[in-house]
Amino acid sequence: MPTWWGRKSCKNNNNNNNSRGISTDRDIKSCGVVVVVDPPLTPTRAATPRCSREFANGASSSSAFSGFDSDSTEKRGHPLPRPLLSPVSIHQDHVSGSTSGSTSVSSVSSSGSAEDQSQLVVSRGHCDVKLNERVSPKLVTARPTSPLHQRLAGVVSLESSSTGRNDDGRSSSSECHPLPRPPTSPTSPSAVHGSRIGGGYETPSPSGFSKWKKGKFLGSGTFGQVYQGFNSEKGKMCAIKEVKVISDDQTSKECLKQLNQEINLLSQLCHPNIVQYYGSELSEETLSVYLEYMSGGSIHKLLKEYGSFTEPVIQNYTRQILAGLAYLHGRNTVHRDIKGANILVDPNGEIKLADFGMAKHVTAFSTMLSFKGSPYWMAPEVVMSQNGYTHAVDVWSLGCTILEMATSKPPWSQFEGVAAIFKIGNSKDTPEIPEHLSNDAKNFIRLCLQRNPSVRPTASQLLDHPFLRVHTTRVANISMPKDAAPRSFDGSFSLPTRESYPGRLSHDNYQRQPLSRAIKSPRENVRAITSLPVSPCSSPLRQLGPAYKSCFLSPPHPSYAFPGLDSGYNLAEFASSPFRMKKDTMIEPSSFRGQTPNTPLRSRLV
Ligand SMILES: Nc1ncnc2c1ncn2[C@@H]1O[C@H](COP(=O)(O)OP(=O)(O)OP(=O)(O)O)[C@@H](O)[C@H]1O
């Protein structure tokens, strides 16, 4: 069994043995990066009764997105409507790699400074707080409007640097004044519960009673344990992600920071293909995050249990992953750790992106130089830490995840950690693509795995790819959520027309198809998608593809043909397309506009 399968065994495990074979700093430095091997976790103390408080999201701060990069958002303003406010903001580029999972790697930035700072900056609304002392519990209750849980702040013990400055150059302040509370969104789960949004901290029960009941253990991640959970007030299931709070343990601090980052980010997001955040609580010794429960577990787990997926399943999952990514990227956020283990599946085959501990907001002034994620899924530019990187890293990782779904293994899994990193970063090779996949699938994967990130298509563009465009709506009785359909820039649904892709109308593999009917409206497009027949082979685009030979052919559905649009993609044409992703456009303020889906917030209450 390849060593990469053994990754779980080294997470939060005292027998932390770095199963990926990433052995020494020296080895990795030789290929341009520094790998920090996990130290074993400090054994956790026995749990004490909960004295739970949900994080207040309510402290108002105009820099609600400051957790991504508060500096730039404050200076430039955020063109999107202000999202729900975040309790804790963390300058993530300075996340330590030192205690992350065995596959987490910290690189040397272009400036030559390793990003393994153990001292972190927490930004609290308007003021960045230098938190290097444990704050007394009395102080916590005296400042109920603060968005940051004071006790957590004390435990995480954060400070920016010895200079007292954040890495963005702004002074840290040890003062933080109470902020007015913002109006709450009626659609927000937290608002309804009155626990997190705008309500300040929930009054802790003297008995330590929590409405969230912890159930069976689901698994360990790099940053904590996950349990099944139950909301005793609402009677709904949830997943509980838990990290022990141990004030003097560096690993615990790192885990807390990652979890806070996840809270911060997830609380801003609402999309059918992104796991929903319900709330969080800090007990005496534990930070718990309550998330939408996905009973199917991860794609990684399904692959392990049932083997590789068939192409229609890959198609369906990929489409949903991309819908989530397009939404995320539309909010200028990069996931940075897309892989089977971080993509959850529900019993109906609905897919949700999870594990936002690595995610990062991209701003006009920052490109990312940190080296985070899982090596086998990492884009070359991440491995090489060259010139920063952008949303394209997720597209590369998606390509790797498709290969993972098709073969049960990530690309280059035959290589040990350092060799794999070298292969990704220093070779010209691209991962092997299985022969059994259709031409559409192969073409799609090749587009994702282009070494030059600037020619990789964006997630939104990939949603229009024939591999996904022609699809079944039901795979094993799976209904495709309408939000997983191609989403146009303004959040409405649309299918591509000749006008939208002027440069992509030919491909050797496909014949020009006759036009049948024009799609009249985005709504109609959605209906056209969701009412398609089940057979994946009915596509007119597949008539010359290998899938035809091995599948039962059903007649083409009229709505598969689009006016003036050929079926295929031409890699060269795509690369020269004006629609291809350019780094500059990723950070243009104008690109921020209109990408927030205009679907109403879903109320997912536990
Ligand atoms: N919302 C959820 N619903 C159901 N299971 C979940 C949920 N979130 C996580 N899990 C499961 O819990 C386990 C640990 O998840 P976690 O996200 O902590 O780590 P991971 O993604 O496996 O690894 P890493 O953190 O290193 O990326 C996984 O098996 C995952 O499938």
The number of beta carbons lying within 10 Å of the beta carbon of residue 580 is: 20
Cα four-point dihedral sign 326, 328, 333, 335:
negative
- pLDDT per position as a tens digit, 302-352: 999 999 999 999 999 999 999 999 999 999 898 988 999 999 999 999 999
- Per-residue confidence at 261, pLDDT binned at 50, 70, 90? confident
Residue 397 has pLDDT above 60, yes or no: yes
262 pLDDT tier (thresholds 50, 70, 90): confident
604 CA distance to ligand 1 middle (Å): 20
Q: Which atom of ligand 1 is nearest to the CA of 300?
A: 31
In the prediction, which pLDDT does 412 show? 85
User: What token pair was written down for 420?
Assistant: 């794999």
Which neighbouring-strand residues pair with 291? 239, 277
C-alpha distance from residue 251 to each of 379, 539, 549, 562 (Å) = 27, 52, 54, 54
Q: Are 237 and 293 in contact (CB under 8 A)?
A: yes
- Here the ipTM equals 0.97
Do residues 384 and 425 make contact, with C-beta atoms less than 8 angstroms apart?
yes
In this prediction, residue 291 carries a pLDDT of 93
- Of the pLDDT bands very low, low, confident and very high (cuts 50, 70, 90), residue 53 is very low
Q: Which residues are catalytic?
A: 337
DSSP 86-109: -S-EE-GGG--STTS-TT--BPBP
User: Per-residue b/e over 89-115, b at no fewer than 16 CB within 10 Å?
Assistant: bbbbbbbbbbbbbbbbbbbbbeeeebb
More confident call, 341 vs 3:
341
Lowest mean pLDDT among 138-147, 396-405, 437-446, 571-580: 138-147
- Tell me the CA–centroid distance for residue 220 and ligand 1, in Å: 7
Q: Does 437 have pLDDT greater than 70? A: yes
Q: Of the candidates 32, 169, 176, 16, which has an alpha carbon nearest to the alpha carbon of residue 106?
A: 32
CA distance 348 to 92: 34
Distance from C-alpha of 569 to C-alpha of 508, rounded to nearest angstrom = 9
Give the pLDDT of residue 69: 33
Residue 83: strand, helix, or coil = coil
Average of per-residue pLDDT across 532-544: 31
Give whichever of 115-119, 366-370, 499-503 has the largest mean pLDDT.
Answer: 366-370
- Would you state the pLDDT for residue 198? 28
No. of helices (H) and no. of strands (E), the chain: 18, 12
Mutate to test the pocket of ligand 1, among 218, 302, 336, 345 (most ligand atoms within 8 A of CB): 218
Distance from residue 11's CA to the centre of ligand 1 (Å): 11
d(CA 361, CA 125) in angstroms, rounded, equals 16
State mean pLDDT over 502-509: 33
Binding-site residues, in ranges, read 241
Residue with CA nearest ligand 1 atom 15:
221
Q: Of all atoms in ligand 1, which is nearest to the CA of residue 352?
A: 1
Write the residue with the smallest CA distance to atom 20 of ligand 1. Answer: 221
Which segments are annotated as binding site for ATP?
241
The pair phi, psi for residue 311, each rounded to 5°, is: -60, -40
Which of 355, 374, 397, 401 for a ligand 1 pocket mutation test, highest count of atoms within 8 Å of Cβ?
355
Q: What is the mean pLDDT of the chain?
A: 57
pLDDT tens readout for residues 88-120: 332 333 333 333 333 333 333 333 333 333 322
**Please, which residues have CB within 8 angstroms of residue 93's CB and are 6 or more apart in sequence?**
115, 167, 360, 366, 368, 369, 370
- What residues are paired with 363 via a beta bridge? 366
User: What integer is the mean pLDDT of 590-596?
Assistant: 34
- Residue 10, pLDDT > 70, answer no
Question: Relative to the CA of 7, which ligand 1 atom is closest?
Answer: 26
Q: Which tens digit of pLDDT belongs to each residue from 212-238?
A: 899 999 998 777 899 999 998 889 999
Residue 416 Cα to ligand 1 midpoint, Å, equals 23
Helix (H, G, I), strand (E, B) or coil at 59: coil
- What percentage of the chain reaches a pLDDT higher than 90? 23
Residue nearest to atom 4 of ligand 1 (CA): 294
**Separation of CA 342 and ligand 1 centre (Å):** 7
pLDDT at residue 265, rounded to an integer: 84
Average pLDDT over residues 255-275: 87
The pLDDT tens digits for 177-199 are: 333 333 333 333 333 233 333 22
Q: Which residue in 35, 128, 85 sits closest to 425, CA to CA? A: 35
Which has the higher per-residue pLDDT, 211 or 101? 211
Tell me the per-residue pLDDT of 449-498, one tens digit each, with 9 for 90 and over.
999 899 999 999 999 999 997 544 445 444 444 444 433 333 333 333 33
Q: Using CA atoms, how far apart are residues 265 and 92, in angstroms rounded to an integer? A: 11
Q: How many CB atoms lie within 10 A of CB 178?
A: 15
Atom of ligand 1 nearest to the CA of 225: 18
Residue 294's pLDDT band (boundaries 50, 70, 90)? very high
Q: Whose CA is nearest to atom 5 of ligand 1?
A: 297
Task: Kindly state the average pLDDT of the residues 585-605.
Answer: 35
Ligand 1 is surrounded, with C-beta below 6 A, by 11, 101, 218-223, 226, 239, 241, 275, 291-294, 297-298, 301, 337, 341-342, 344, 354-355
Closest CA to 385 of 414, 421, 419, 429: 421
Q: Which residues contact 419 (CB under 8 A, 6 or more apart)?
A: 21
Determine contact, residues 255/357, Cβ cutoff 8 Å.
no
Write down the pLDDT at residue 387: 59
